[in-house]
Amino acid sequence: MNPKNNETVYVNVKDMAGNDFVCPLNELRDVKTIGDGELENCFEDDAVGRYAGQLKIVDNDEESG
């Protein structure tokens, strides 16, 4: 089995207050609007820097359309 196939893909999102987060794509119903409950599995954008080499982050426009 190829481990790349099971790799979690993350996407940049904003909450209703305009704060930036990085969330697992498979945890979101819609990348354009995110609810408080969906933020439980997300990282604040400021905290992602230390994991940048370990996370696959895609542009949310690529995944939504």
Give 10's DSSP letter. Answer: E
Amino acid 2: pLDDT? 39
Query: What's the average pLDDT block by block, 10 residues per block, for the chain (65 residues)?
Result: 65 87 87 80 81 74 51
Is pTM beyond 0.85 here? no
Q: What is the DSSP letter of 19?
A: -
Question: Whole-angstrom distance between the N-terminal and C-terminal Cα of the chain?
Answer: 29
